[in-house]
Structure formats: structure tokens, C-alpha cells
Amino acid sequence: MKAALDTVVTSGIVSSSRASAAPLLESTHHQQWRSGTAASAVDLASLQTMLQTLLKEQDERAARREQLLGFVSQLQARTSGNVSTQRPIPPASASRIPELPSIELFQRADALSGGYDMYFGLNVDTDSLVYLMLANSFLHRKFPNIITIAEEVSGMPALCRPVEEGGQGFDFRLAMALPDMWIKILKHLSDEDWNISDIVHALENRRYGEKSVAYAESHDQALVGDKTIAFWLMDKEMYDFMSITTPLTPIIERGIALHKLIRLLTYGLGGEAWLNFMGNEFGHPEWLDFPRQGNNESFHYCRRQWNLADDDLLRYKFLNRWDKAMNTVEEKHHWLSRGPGYVSWKHQDDKVIAFERGGLLFVLNFHTSKSFADYRLGIEVPGKYALALNSDHADFGGMSRIDNSQTYITFPEGYAGRRNHLCVYIPCRTAIVLEKEVSGMPALCRPVEEGGQGFDFRLAMALPDMWIKILKHLSDEDWNISDIVHALENRRYGEKSVAYAESHDQALVGDKTIAFWLMDKEMYDFMSITTPLTPIIERGIALHKLIRLLTYGLGGEAWLNFMGNEFGHPEWLDFPRQGNNESFHYCRRQWNLADDDLLRYKFLNRWDKAMNTVEEKHHWLSRGPGYVSWKHQDDKVIAFERGGLLFVLNFHTSKSFADYRLGIEVPGKYALALNSDHADFGGMSRIDNSQTYITFPEGYAGRRNHLCVYIPCRTAIVLEKVRGEEGQTVSGGQRRGLW
């Protein structure tokens, strides 16, 4: 299991479709009594049969309830240690809740309507649902690190939602339709008849927020039952032509190629965890067969032949290396835990699928003979990309038709619903995975045990240089929004960066601070609230807040500030040295500037405190990288989500936008957590801080919902989700009027 499955609990959903027999019996009896007609022998026999059936069902229900209570008692005994023969479940083991009798979701065929109403009603066996809820609640309380998985085929809603939300409390559900789909395709369809849309639909067909375990081959293909994918693809030729000393037959070539593509596509798109039955990863030709009466208690097939993968003369090594390479890339980019993939391309005639997930671009060509040069594909994030995986590499049994050292440059023209595009060469029956290329020493912030240099963080040194370059050389109208976002996001996933808007060169003698670049010498004359608010001071205060918030929110996993820069200290620190005659005059920070209520430095100081307060509340720095859903060059607007917050920044010099539509992932009611236009931060109070924002279910900008905001020029707002009607935020505290 790719996800760390401490304890696996599998079960189905139990239900009962018993109709209410008692009212029917009573109604029939009274109708006959009132009519004065004596019941015939046939009627009496029917009533007797109905009564016996009713009593039998009641007895079965009572027996099942007793068995459920027995299971709960056993579970408690296992974990409490009261029974000497039972041991508590160890953290790194897998166990199974005993199968409940007659575990069926519905017993009546007419109840399988396909709608949500079939899951909620008299057909559902609430006893069994409550048992599963109790079991999951108990296990997760007793063992906080436990992971439970449901093996269930009906598609029961809320199966993998917490018990507190009314769900059954499982962490994952097996995506049981996927291996069935692949076997059906391999068994009944020629390669030319594969329906690309149907394959993608099956891989994506799961509820958002309920995590699934993807797997290409089921236990039926690992044990005696069905054939493995490798055997479906290559059949008996596996016994004669898997040696590299024998000719590479068309069947073996096709089998190795499709085996890699099927597993990568399922791994990349099919779920939030990955399951592999040992041996299937390298195409073990035979299933496991445990000793039983049917095989004369033989141990002959009760083993995995690991020597097949280890033998350098056999082609199994190619599939084994491919499996290792996929796992290595996933461990680096963590696509399983980074939300569902976005399929931007699925072409039936070309047999090409392309999707983005975890910062990677997956491209798969299932065509039997067509290779495509300069094949255009849409991609969201601009930049330079390199190959992370290439199934056509010789190490994986490929034909080496792709140069592994090449890079791919994006073009700003959007394509297939994405903001940029690039062109690739994709041979037939080949898959490639592209990752964004980042400058800087690889593995600098990875543990020594992994071969890294062991640092915890690296300074995002390009960020202060970028801001100084922009402020020094560009007018506000010429700021390139895409370039700014690219610089803020341009770091390796898994290597934590320290974001900072101003470097030590701007705190010590060297360059000017951002505040001084923005307001220059007017800081000396117009920072008092008793003086006119000049256009330069107004612009400087507004952009100072936006620059720091954007860098803080999007630029890294930690935040660095050199003391005094947060409130716009106008001068740098200058320690005593020969060049200043050993003077201490500038060897200090003038904290009185921030404390003086008559000076505008207080606005920047309050803004810094407010940003820190919201970060301490929502912890966006530790909640993974942000997702930029909107960056509009003409509007100069940037919007991104991180830590459950929606950040919106308008850098335009004069344009304010009413009812500005923005995509957002999670639906609900949102309120202002930060508003740079508030009077307490030196703003113009153009936004009502008490207003709320309601999402609409129509997706927008690649997100599942959208909302509309009023965003004045040179203003930033941050929205947080609200729970309840009293303005209580999702983190539990009352929403404050200021932030």
C-alpha cells in the first residue's frame, strides 16, 4: 500500500429491506372482520405464513444484533488486554473486522434506482451502519494513527467522512471498479477500440472529499482467480520470450509497454492512495495458490518468484524498475495527497491522455502505431520543464526514442483550458511525466539519510531581488503578474523555503528598503497624519502592504523579517566602522516611529501584526503550497488559496472591480480575515468589513465553485470560511471586526 496503512479495516454496508409486515397483517385482519366474512382456509394459511415470516425476521434481527454486540466486545477485549489470547493491534499491522452476516446494501432489486434516495430510507440496515460508525470512532480514538479502509461496491455516500459529520468514519475506500475496468478492456476490446473518455471517467469517478485507494489489479489477480494484467497482455509468450537473449516479439513489446502505461495512469489519476499486490509490479506470470484440497495441499504455487525481477537476463527487471521509478517520483512530489488531477486532454482518435497533478504533467499515448511530434498540450504554470519519468527509456524496456536530457519551455498562449502550453514528442504506447525545473542545489533541504545536505530550510533569495528589480526599473503599469507569481512559486516541492520581501542588504548598509524605494524622501516630510496624504505616500503604504502579504502568503514555508522593515523604517542599520567614523548614530531602530500615534508608520506596523495573527490562526505556512487560481495581467489581479484562505490582491493603479468573479474550491460562506483598505491600516475604508461572501456551485478558473468580491485598486483582502450564523469562523473563534 502506497499510503501508510497502519490498520486496515474492511467491510461492506449492511442493510435490510424488510417491509413493514405488521401493519399489513393488521389491515387485512380488520378488513375481513368488518365485512363479516369468515376467512377461508387459504386466507388463514397465508396469514400463518406471513406471521411465521415476520417472527423469523425478528429472530434473525435479534441474533444479528447480539452478534454485533459480540463483535464490539471482542474489539474492546483486543485493545484492553483483558483476554490473554488477544493482543492490542500494533501500529504497523493490518487486521480485518470480522465479516458481518448478509452484508448487502439492498436486498430488493427495485430499490437499486441509482439515486441518492436509495441510500437513505427503510432499506438501510441502521444497526450495521451504527456498528461501523462505532467501530471506526473507537479505533480512531484508541489509535490516532490508524487508517481504516472500506471494501464496498455500492457507492455508499459519506462512507469515508468522519463520524462527527454523520459519515461511517473510514479513511479510504477501495476503488474496486478500476481493476474490473482494466480486465474488461483487456479481455473484450482490441487496442484500437479502447474508449479514452470511458477510461478517464472511471478513474475520476469518485466523490470529492472521500479518499479512494487506486489499484490496477485486484486480489483476484494475485490469488487463484483471474489472470494478472501481465498475463492478459502477454499470455503464454511470457514463458518463452521474457529473456533478453530471445527476440522481442510484438506481443512482449506491447505487453511491457501497456503494463507500464496502465499502472502509471491508475497510480496518477485513480485515487489518493496506491495499492499493489506483491509481485504484480514486475509482472509475475502466475498467481498465488495456497495449500487447499483442490491442489492436493501443494505449496508449489504458494510463493513469489523474486528471482524473476532480480535476474538481469529477464525482462521482468524493466517493469520492476518502472515501479520503483513511479514510487520515487511520487515520494518527491506527493501527488497522491495534493488533490485530484486536472485532465486537460483526452483525445479518442489520437488515444492521448494528459493531466496535471501535484505540479506534474502526465502525458500518455495509447495509440498502437501513431507517434506525435510537437504535440501541443495545455499547462497551467509557466516555466521550464524536464522529464521526471519516461516509459520509453531503455532502463524500462523502451526504445529510447526520447532524449531524457531535453527541456520543455512553455508558451504564454493558453490551450485546452489552461493558461499556457508546451509541445512534446510522444511516441506510440509511451508515457512521460514532466516536472518543473528549479534552479539551486537539489536535495539541499532533504535529510542526510536520503542523500541530501540536511538543511531544514533554504532562503528564497530570488524574492527580495525580484522586488527591488521591479521597484527600481518598472513603472506600476509594467509589472508582469505572471513573472511575479512564477518567482514566488519557483521552488522544489518538499524542500522548504524561507520567504522574505527584503534582504539583509536592505536592513543594513547596502540597498534601500522597500518603503524607501516606494516613498523615498517624502517619508521625512509626509508620514505624519497631520500632513497631507500625498499620492506617493498613499501608493507607498498600499504597495508595501500588498508586497509583504503576497510574499508571506505564497513565497515559502516560513517567513523572515528584518526588524524595523515591517513598519517601513526609512533608514538602514549602520554599525560603527571606519567609513562612518565609528559612529553609533545609525546603529539603532527607531521604534518610536511605530509607536507614535501621529505617524503613518503605525498603519504598516498594525498590518504586520494582523498578518501574523491570521497566520497563527490558520497556519498557512505549514499547510502546503498555495494554489494560484487567477493571475490576470490586464487587471493586475492575483488570487490564490492556501490554508483554507482565499487571498485576493489587486495591484492595478486605478481600476477597482465590483462583483469580480473568482474560483474557489470549498463551498460555503466566507468573511474578511484581512482587509488592507481598512482605516486602521491606512486604507480608504471602501470595503465593508462586516460583509460576507457566498459561493455559487458553478465552477470557475479550474475550481469547483466561485464567489464575487469588490476589490479596490491597490488593495488586498483575505477571506476565511465562516461556520454558523453568528459569524463564527471555522477555526472556532468569533470573527473580529478589524480583521
Angle at CA of residue 125, ends 122 and 127, nearest 5°: 130
Picking from 134, 150, 174, the residue at the C-terminal end of a domain is 174
- Quick one: average pLDDT of 715-739? 63
User: Last residue of a domain, which of 110, 145, 174?
Assistant: 174
Q: Structurally, how many domains does the chain consist of?
A: 3
pLDDT score, position 54: 64
pLDDT at 28: 35
Backbone angles phi, psi at 266, to 5 degrees: -70, -45
pLDDT at 267 over 60: yes
Res. 703 pLDDT band, cuts 50 70 90? very high
- Flag whether 219 is in a domain: yes
Give residue 255's pLDDT. Answer: 97
| Position 451 in a domain | no
Residue 235 and residue 127 share a domain? no
Determine the Cα–Cα distance for residues 171 and 161; give it in Å rounded to an integer.
7
Q: Is the pLDDT of residue 68 over 80?
A: no
The answer to whether residue 373 is domain-embedded is yes
Residue 71 lies in a domain: no
497 three-state secondary structure: strand
Q: Over pLDDT 90: what percentage of the chain?
A: 60
Same domain, 257 and 126: no
Cβ neighbourhood burial of 359 (10 Å; 0-12, 13-18, 19+) = buried
Q: Would you call 525 exposed, middle or buried from its count of C-beta atoms within 10 A (0-12, 13-18, 19+)?
A: exposed
What pLDDT is recorded for position 75?
56
Lowest-pLDDT choice from 489-503, 625-639, 672-686: 489-503
191 and 154 both lie in a single domain = no
pLDDT at 15 over 70: no
Q: Are residues 712 and 589 in the same domain?
A: yes
Stretch 710-714: mean pLDDT, rounded? Answer: 98
Q: How confident is the model at residue 16 (pLDDT cuts 50, 70, 90)?
A: very low
Question: Are 513 and 561 within one domain?
Answer: yes
Each residue's pLDDT tens digit, 542-561 = 999 999 999 999 999 999 99
The residue behind cell 488533490 is: 339
Say what the pLDDT of residue 264 is: 98
Most confident residue range from 111-120, 221-230, 489-498, 724-733: 489-498
The larger pLDDT score, comparing residue 2 to residue 292, is at 292
Report the mean per-residue pLDDT for the chain.
84
The CA distance from 273 to 295, in Å, is: 35
1 assigned to some structural domain: no
| 351 and 326 assigned to the same domain | yes
Instruction: Give phi and psi for 248, each to the nearest 5.
Output: -85, 100
Same domain, 623 and 529: yes
Q: Residues 705-724: what's their mean pLDDT?
A: 94
Same domain, 248 and 393: yes
Q: Judge contact between 709 and 660, C-beta under 8 A.
A: yes
**Same domain assignment for residues 382 and 524:** no
Give the model's pLDDT for residue 221.
75
Q: Is 453 inside any structural domain?
A: no
* Per-residue model confidence (pLDDT) at position 112: 53
Comparing 402 with 70, which gets the higher pLDDT?
A: 402
Kindly state whether residues 127 and 182 are assigned to the same domain.
no
Q: Are 32 and 138 in contact (CB under 8 A)?
A: no
- Provide the CATH number for the domain around residue 476: 3.20.20.80
Q: What is the mean pLDDT of residues 8-34?
A: 34
Residues 514 and 371 in one domain: no
Q: Is the pLDDT of residue 43 over 90?
A: no
Cell numbers describing residue 601:
508608520
Three-state DSSP class for 471? helix
What are 685-689's contacts with CB under 8 Å, separation 24+?
686/656, 686/710, 686/712, 686/715, 687/712, 687/715, 687/717, 689/737, 689/738
The whole-number average pLDDT for the span 638-647 is 97
Model pLDDT, residue 50: 64
The parent domain of residue 709 ranges over 459-724
Instruction: Please report which confidence band the pLDDT of residue 690 belongs to, taking 50, 70 and 90 as the band edges.
Output: very high
Which of 70-74, 248-252, 319-323, 461-465 comes out lowest in average pLDDT?
70-74
pLDDT band at 323 (very low <50, low <70, confident <90, very high): very high
Give domain status of residue 91, yes or no. no
In this structure, the answer to whether residues 167 and 185 fall within a common structural domain is: no
Which band of pLDDT confidence, cut at 50, 70 and 90, is reported for residue 509? low
Last residue of a domain, one of 174, 209, 225: 174
CB atoms within 10 A of CB 404: 14
Question: Is pLDDT above 90 for 650?
Answer: yes
Give the whole-angstrom CA distance, residue 204 versus residue 80. 41
Whether 278 is covered by a domain: the verdict is yes
HSE-up of 552 (CA within 13 Å, CB side)?
A: 25
